[in-house]
Amino acid sequence: MTNSSHEYPADLDADFRLTIDASDSGKRLDAVLAAHVDALSRNRIQSLIKAGDVTVGGAKIVEPKFRVNEGNAVVLILPEPEDPEPLGEDIPISVVYEDEHLIVVDKPAGLVVHPGAGNWTGTLVNALIHHCGDSLSGIGGVRRPGIVHRIDKDTSGLLVVAKSDQAHQGLAAQFADHGRTGPLERAYAALVWGAPSNLKGTIDANLARSQTNRQKMAVVKTSGRHAVTHWQVKDRFGPADEPALASLMECRLETGRTHQIRVHMAHFGHPLIGDGDYGSGFKTKINRLEEPLKSVVGSFDRQALHAGLLAFEHPANGKTLRFESPYPADFANLLSALQIF
């Protein structure tokens, strides 16, 4: 397969050949290839060069910074994607949308997204490897799904995953931009204790690992990572003549930090119902509730957080995709119990 200097490869499972013209003469090898092979990231191309998968004029080049000259024949050999380290597992998943580039799933609460310490199997990644099979064209040379964002194990809702390097690059760029210049949207429904006096607002508070518990995050005054959550009260629950017992809020992320909504809402004084890590101080409040609300709230064993809205630009065709997920049964049951309180 031979391409002119400004054509893109039609089949990235084979090899890519390029003859350097005047416009690329004198440039770095990795930069030239990155400009012409848009389905691979520059980092991935650099790895391929270092692995000896690129020749210039028939000679193997292992330095990404090698300067090419007009007339050089460049050949990039693409190795077959390696099998993933995690194994595919036949775990049921709810697929909202899928094509050759990406897949959108509605993750249930209780399912870990990515294998890690204590959760090497039974994750969404294991499920996707089984479900997608050979349609995974390889992320960074490995036949695995490309995770561009995550939601906590006990948070339910929508998640988009890349199936190719090209999709991974495009989606990762959008999530890094946090929707500032594109159509990316992420909105979460949260049931929290109490209710703010205002109907909407913004929490701008840096987050870092807790100094007392490294498994948790905490708001910090200095250092940490910038974190911004926009919130809006959708409904308040409780007797009209008393302070609100709880409220339904919509939270939109301007940044995507670990446990961001959970930590921000707790810092704000309105932790999520069921959040044992950041709202444990409100457990005694459950005992003061009347039945049947007491039983419903007491048996809700996860943070009441649902990723109900996800929108983004398709990385291959540029179309805006928008998905909404209904409340899962446990969240809907808790909401109903609060509404009739």
* Nearest of 171, 197, 208, 156 to residue 331 by alpha carbon: 156
Q: Which of 24, 152, 165, 277 is catalytic?
A: 152
The Cβ of residue 95 has, within 10 Å, a number of other Cβ atoms equal to 12
The Cβ of residue 292 has, within 10 Å, a number of other Cβ atoms equal to 11
CA distances from 59 to 48, 62, 172, 238, 300 (A): 15, 10, 34, 75, 64
Listed in sequence order, the residues at least 6 apart from 213 whose beta carbon sits closer than 8 Å to its beta carbon are: none
CB 233 within 8 A of CB 201: no
Q: Which two tokens stand for residue 28?
A: 């770095």
Query: How many angstroms separate the CA atoms of 283 and 286, rounded?
Result: 6
Q: Which two tokens stand for residue 31?
A: 């930069």
DSSP per-residue string spanning 287-305: HTSPTTHHHHHHT--S--E
Query: How many angstroms separate the CA atoms of 273 and 330, rounded?
Result: 12
Q: Would residue 152 show up in a list of annotated catalytic residues for this protein?
A: yes
User: E-assigned strands of 164-242?
Assistant: 185-193, 200-204, 207-209, 217-219, 228-237
Query: How many angstroms separate the CA atoms of 90 and 204, rounded?
Result: 41
Catalytic positions, written as ranges = 152
